[in-house]
Amino acid sequence: MRIISANLNGIRSAAKKGFFDWLLDRSGADVLCIQETKAQIHQLDDAVFNPDSWHRHFFDAVKPGYAGTAIYSRQKPDAVRTGLGFEICDTQGRWIEAQFGDLTVVSLYLPSGSANDEAQARKDIFLGELMPMLKARQAAGEKLIICGDWNIAHKEIDIKNWKGNLKNSGFLPHEREWLTALFDDIGFVDAFRLIDQRPERYTWWSNRGQAYANNVGWRIDYHIISENLRERVQAADIYTDEKFSDHAPLIIDYAD
């Protein structure tokens, strides 16, 4: 099973750049988790957004043109659930999950805190709400693949200019410690790093300057999986041959 996570920074914009051509013709995907759709479902009636033989489910933000998540899959999910029961998540369409047998695949768009102190405070609230929920689901033995833009670079290897970003949202000590706790204390796993330990493997680049051309990036997109799926991770890649967004698609292959 190939699962792809992609922050598209606008699904309509990415479509114009050929994202769905790649998805259908070259990606080999079985499940696609999208973040930042920046659209309402009623705006996506064109055939390009509803390809044959694919099932699609959206969780739109209340505010038009903002945030939003979606899951596309070749197999029809047994169930789809949206939201986590708190305002920051549910009014902004930041969590959608699809169940396939005993496996649950999630598309998560964690808030950015880079705009100002208020934005960082909202991000911290989200993190505080999310952790006990993930702890409970891990303890229950669920098989979870949480794909998405987590908006945190975990370690120095995950960001080009780490010294210059120690005081910036996305690389703040308490954010990084939150991820460390998720991995070391709760038991979730960074699927990509099971396969690829190389530096300079980034998934997001600023649109400022020549960040993309010079690979001055951050790895803030993850497949974070429950411990019971560790042995099923087979391959991992970051797709950079084509540019659909300021993020690159993150591809992980799992054994059935």
Q: 131-176 pLDDT, tens per residue?
A: 999 999 999 999 999 999 999 999 999 999 999 999 999 999 999 9
Check whether 149 is labelled as a binding-site residue.
yes
At 205 the pLDDT is: 98
- If you average pLDDT over residues 231-243, what whole number do you get? 98
In whole angstroms, what is the distance from residue 242 CA to residue 79 CA? 33
**pLDDT (tens digit per residue) in 166-207:** 999 999 999 999 999 999 999 999 999 999 999 999 999 999
Check whether 21 is labelled as a binding-site residue.
no
**pLDDT (tens digit per residue) in 10-34:** 999 999 999 999 999 999 999 999 9
Could you list the residue range(s) of the whole structural domain that residue 35 is in?
2-254
In whole angstroms, what is the distance from residue 256 CA to residue 253 CA? 9
For helices 117-139 and 173-181, give the axis angle rounded to 10 degrees.
Answer: 10
Check whether 52 is labelled as a binding-site residue.
no
The total number of structural domains in the chain stands at: 1
Reported as type and span, the H/E element at residue 12 is: helix 11-16
Indicate which CATH number applies to the domain containing 154: 3.60.10.10
Check whether 242 is labelled as a binding-site residue.
no
At 68 the pLDDT is: 98
pTM tops 0.95, yes or no: yes
In whole angstroms, what is the distance from residue 131 CA to residue 235 CA? 27
Residues catalogued as catalytic = 109, 149, 247
**pLDDT (tens digit per residue) in 21-77:** 999 999 999 999 999 999 999 999 999 999 999 999 999 999 999 999 999 999 999
Check whether 151 is labelled as a binding-site residue.
yes
- Residue 209, pLDDT > 90, answer no
How many C-beta atoms lie closer than 10 Å to residue 84's C-beta?
A: 16
